[in-house]
Each structure stands twice: as structure tokens, then as C-alpha cells.
Chains A and B, each alone.
Chain A
Amino acid sequence: MKNLKLASASALAIASASFASTAQADDLTLCWAAWDPANALVELSKEFEAQSGHTMSFEFIPWPNFADRMLNELNSGGKLCDLLIGDSQWIGGGAENGHYVKLNDFFDNQGISMDDFAPATVYAYSTWPKGTPNYYALPAMGDANGWFYRRDWFGRDDIKAAFKEATGRDLGEPKSQKEMLEIAQFFQGREIDGKTVYGAAIFTERGSEGITMGVTSALYPWGFKYENTPGAYDMEGAVNSPEAVEALEFYKEFYETATPPGYTNSYMGESLDAFKSGQVAMAMNWFAFFPGLYADPNTGGDKIDFFVNPPQNQAGSTLGGQGISVVAYSDKQDAALEYIKWFANPDVQAKWWELGGYSAHNSVLNDPGFVDSQPFAGDFLDAMGGVQDFWQEPAYAELLLAMQKRIHDYVVADQGTAQEALDKLIEDWTEVFEDEGKL
């Protein structure tokens, strides 16, 4: 109810710098992951500081610790963060456990409409229960798992000829998962400019969410489903379908035959390192890194190009991305809401995209110039058209950790079969849903 006070004044105030004198100046802390877009957000937020008179502090946590640290912070009722750009899967817990402030009234009062944002992002980042008009976040950063490759190598005549000879096909952006594996295997162990290079860097990290995000990029194109009937938690036959088994076996083959040695526990950072140091021909990573990769002096520019996660039985990409929420334990909720109000501004959103953040605002995405504004912009729209996300249940962490264990045990530690891994995963998940009283 506190935010109602603010509502009438702020519409005017946001537009002018005079607001600073009418409201108390707060020091807001925004928490997010430590990565390229976070630096862009710091840059972007300077404008907010100038307009509102509030100062912004930032707490950026490296990805491998991000979920752990932030969920711990929320669960302990901590006041470190006023604003949190939390991962999409946290929304269920954030809403049900009262960590996030519900934003519906605020949106109504401020004239912020969720129709202005891409539907896939609103569904994924803002709503709980899924798809209902109950909003706990504003879409802040659209993201999906995609791929990039060494355009310079793909374009070299000697390599192209060798590829043609080896496979009978022309070397180019892969049109399917299996083609992609073939290309990666072709590059694996090859000498290029006197250096041994490898196929592709993929996610294999055990500790947080890495290998799950990687393997789902294979599972979704094969047609993997979490449930036979949405909302029924009937996983038998869906999670361990023949397609899912095949996709999991595919990922293991990819890991064993087409990745650099030592990439047994790698996630975003390692994928970037592998690519930037010229070790791999291709790599998977979140779109969020693509602006930085494109700008890289050594492997960026005309040496790099991007493609959407290739389809197999169907198109499908793993969803990343986050919404921005106000933390319920914060003492500075008014100022935090002001930030969201400012951030939702189309002008600010346009600048956000310009600086390297993936705006989810329709005015940015539907702009005729958008597709050509960056070499990966078109791919981004494609990817967002076919994204799927992991469970967003309040018990998501339990579900995720079970999957991390089962998949890593099978793919990296080489234990059991794909079928066994998925069967055990269903057992784990069933147990979680039984504890939840949903089964």
C-alpha cells in the first residue's frame, strides 16, 4: 500500500529531474549476475540516477554462485537487494514465498502494460501461476541459448574442401543437431594454423545449472516434454520418452567426441574462454554474451557469426533471461518501483538494446530496423519464438539439482545408461512433487 502514495506523483516526476527534491534520495542496491549485460546496466542506470536523485549500488555475483547466493539471501529475508534481476525459474518461489512484491497494482497505476512486452517473455519472466495475469516482475532481459562459430574458419577454402571430402556436404551453419555434431567432430583435433583445435564448447557444469541448460538444448529439439498433460505432473513416458533418451545419448556423444579436453565442468565462462582463445570452432552460450563476443578484438567482428540452436525433430531453444523484481524485504520499495517505472520506458528500453541488453519491449523488437541492428538480432527473434523453460515451480531448485546430478552422472561421470538416468530423474521428481502435495 506504500506504493500508492508514490503512484500519483511519480508519473510527472519521472519525466523531470525536479523529482529529486520532492522525494527522499535513497541508495538502491540492484542485484544481478556478473556478466557483460550487467556492465551495460550500470551505464544505463546513470541516467536514472541523474533523473531521480537516487543513487544506485550494484551487487553482481558470478553465475556459478548466483542462484545459490541470491536464493539464500531471499530465504534469509535479507535486505541486501532492493531490486533483483532474478532468473526465470525463481518466479514461482519468489511469488509463493512472498520474496517478490506483486506488481499488478503498480502497473495499473503507472499505465505500464504487459501487452507492450513480447508475450513469451511476459509468460516466462513475469507471471505466476504461469500464464495468469499476476505479475511479479517486469521482463528485463530476454535470452536464450544459442551458438556462435568461427566464420573465418568456415570460410576457408582448404577447410571447406576437407569438410566436403570427409562428409560429402558443404560446410556451413548447421541445419540440424546432427549436422552440428558432424561439423564439431570434423574440427575435433584438427590442426589449424599450427594449433590443435576442437569441435565445440558445450555446458557441462555440475554445481549450479550448467549441464541442464546444455542438455535441454538437445532435449527440446528432439521433442522432450516435462509432462504428458500440462499441469498433471505425469512424467512417465514424457521425460523418458525414446526421443528424450536419444537426445541425451546425443549430448553424451557430443561431449565425448567433439569438445576440448578438460571441459568436464564448464559453463558460460569456460565456453567464452574456449572460443576467445581460439580453441574451438563452435560454442554454445547465452545470447547475452553475443554483443561482447562480436566486439572482441581477436575473435569478433568478421571472424564470428551466430546461429539459433538447430532443430532436430522440431525447433527448440533453452530459455534464459530474467525479469526485474522488487524485493519484499527492502525498506526502499518506493524508490525501487520508481526504477522499474523508469526502466519500462520505451526510450530507456531502446537505449538498453543499444548498450547490449536484450530488451523485451515490443517497441524495440518490432522496430523495422531491429533485425539488422546487430548480426545476431534476427537469430534472437527466431530463438525467442521457440523457447522452452525448465520447471518454474517453487520447488525448482530441488528439481534442478536432481537433474544436474542425474545428467552429470551419466554424461560426464559415465555411469549407467541414458534410459536409467531419465528413469531415476522421474523418481527424483516424483518424490519432490509428492512432498509438494502435487502428486
Chain B
Amino acid sequence: MSSFSVTEPSKRSKWFAGTLVILYALITMIPLAWIMLTGFKSPADAISYPPKVVFEPTLEGYVNLFTQRTRQTQEYLDANPPENWRDEIVRQYDMVIVGPSKFGERFLNSVIIGFGSTFLSIFLGTLAAYAFSRFKIPLADDLLFFILSTRMMPPIAVAIPIFLMYRQLGLSDTHLGMILLYTAVNISLAVWLLKGFIDEIPREYEEAALIDGYTRFQAFYKVVLPQAATGIASTAIFCLIFAWNEYAFAVLLTSGTAQTAPPFIPTIIGVGGLDWPAVAAGATIFLIPVMIFTILLRKHLLRGITFGAVRK
């Protein structure tokens, strides 16, 4: 219908553009697809040359990821037949499962710290964003810029005093310490994004409510929050993804109790040498939630990654 419009690209150029973009998308997916495939390979297939595209899938990588194994003598193996499919897999290497690995714990830490800090950043961020959006706050611009500038510091530089402070307070390697730290980092994003979302909600709604006798807090709670729900949800996902992916603080400030998955996954090793299928399995499990969130978020992605500087 708009074939006459000068701004509508021709069919040929559309086809050309589409082909190139799809080609790029496919190439960019190769590393991700490869890592997911590797998770289902046996260690021998994973390091075979030339790299195998067709192979017999196995859950070995996943079993190795979740279990701790030791080598056993032939007598022991003969005396104790395998009890389930997991045992069967490790028996190929004369090994037995002796217990769960630390992966489950680390993954759980990621969940606790991720959700904990997200909740806190959103809670505090929504309040602050509302205040910045609706009230006259002295030096508001400076404060807002100051909040943002805290993200410009290299994490390693921030970690030096945090390390000393946490050592004094006994917050090293604790969930609380990590939650507070990630909240402090995320809150700048949360305030900026949420202020943008709340700015978009017409003030007339609450003003009407205020005149109807709502207190300011009721107006905020009953009028503004429901309107800002989508914005809050997408901001929350951004905060969650940051906390989920964060590595530098985690590697410097945690050692065991509160260690999250990113510093842990690269250190998964088998008996002698890196166990690539297990690493790949760990990476897959860890990355998939983020991929799903990204797809859910796609409408607000731009806003999130630019701190609300660019909106559509």
C-alpha cells in the first residue's frame, strides 16, 4: 500500500538487509549453541579433533556438574553395583559418586543474593524515584548525577575500601554483605529508570486522589505504584541480571559461604584437567534464565541499558 512512499525500502533491499542480518544472527549464535552442545558431550568428544558436531549425547557433563566423585578400586566396584543411571555414567571411569558438588550451593547463593538485592534496590529505588519525580528536592540534579557517577568506578577500585570495611564489620563472605553491595550498585540504575517511568505517569491522577482525601502515601501506594508496575518489573529484571552476572565483587569478597556461580563455574574441574562438558553444563544452566528474561524484556531493553537516556 505504501509502495509509493520514498522512505519505504524496496523489496530487493529488504531482502538483502534481511539476509545479512540473519546471517549475522546465526554466526553470533554459534558460540552459544556450541557451549550448549558441549554440555551434552562426553569429555572425550568435547576435546576431539576435528570438533564433533554429530555425537552421541550423554548427561555426563550434568552428572559431573552436580556430583563429587572419587576413583575406587575394582573390588569395591564389583561389590557395589550401580544403583541408578547416574552411577552407571560415572562407573565408566571406575568412579563412584560420593556426594553432591558445590554447584547447587553456589547457584542457590546466586538466587538469594540476586533476588535479595533486587528486592532491596527496587524497594528503595521506587521510593527515591518517586520523591525525585514529584517533590522539589534541593540539589536534585546533582544528587541524581552523583547517584549515577558511582557506576563509573572500576569495581576493583570500589572493592578495596569495601573489603576493609567488610572485614571490620564481619560482612566478608556473607549473603547480607553481598546483598547490600549489589543494592548499592544497582540503586543508581533503579532510581534513574524508575524516575523515568514515574515521570511518564500523569501527575493529575494522584493530585485528584490527594484532593479526594488520600494521604500522600496512599496516593503513592494506590495510584502511582499500579501504574508503574511494568516499569518496576522491567527495572527489577535489569537489577537481577546485573547481580546474577556480577563477577569482580564476588571473586574478591566471597570465598565459600556466599560465593555466587560466576566465580565458581570457571573453576569446575574434573580429576586432572578441566572438565569442559561440566563447565558447559554449568554455563548453560546459568545462562538460560538470563536469555529468557532478555526475551521478556525486549521492549524495555534499550531504556535499561542506557540508564533511561534513550527511550523509544
Contacts and interface: CB of A to CB of B under 8 A. Distances in A.
Asked if the two chains touch in their complex, CB atoms less than 8 Å apart, one says yes
Interface of A: 29, 34, 36, 39, 42-43, 59, 61-62, 64-65, 69-70, 72-73, 75-78, 80, 269-270, 272-273, 276-277, 289, 292, 295, 297
A77 B70 contact: no
Given A69-B255, A78-B255, A34 B94 contact: no
A39 B72 CA distance: 11
B272 A80 contact: no
Contact of A73 (B47, B255, B271): B255
Given A42-B98, A73-B173, A272 B272 contact: yes
A269 B272 contact: yes
Contact of A270 (B70, B173, B252, B273): B273
Given A59-B256, A76-B167, A78-B255, A297 B94 contact: yes
Interface string B249-292: 00011011100000000010101111000000000000000000
Interface of B: 47, 70-71, 94, 98, 163, 166-167, 170, 172-173, 252-253, 255-257, 267, 269, 271-274
Contact of A76 (B94, B166, B267): B166
A59 B264 CA distance: 12
A277 B170 CA distance: 46
A292 B271 contact: yes
A43 B272 CA distance: 18
A273 B253 CA distance: 32
A77 B271 contact: no
> In the complex, which of the residues A72, A76, A80 has the most CB atoms of chain B within 10 Å of its own CB atom?
A76
Contacts, number: 61
20 contacts: A34-B269, A36-B272, A42-B70, A43-B70, A59-B256, A61-B267, A69-B255, A70-B255, A72-B255, A73-B256, A76-B166, A76-B167, A76-B255, A77-B170, A269-B272, A269-B273, A272-B273, A273-B272, A276-B273, A292-B71
Contacts of B166: 76
A36 B273 CA distance: 11
Contacts of A42: 70, 98
Given A61-B267, A295-B71, A289 B272 contact: yes
B187 to A, nearest CB: 24
Given A39-B70, A39-B71, A269-B274, 12 more contacts: A42-B98, A43-B70, A59-B255, A62-B269, A65-B267, A70-B255, A73-B173, A73-B255, A75-B167, A272-B272, A289-B272, A292-B71
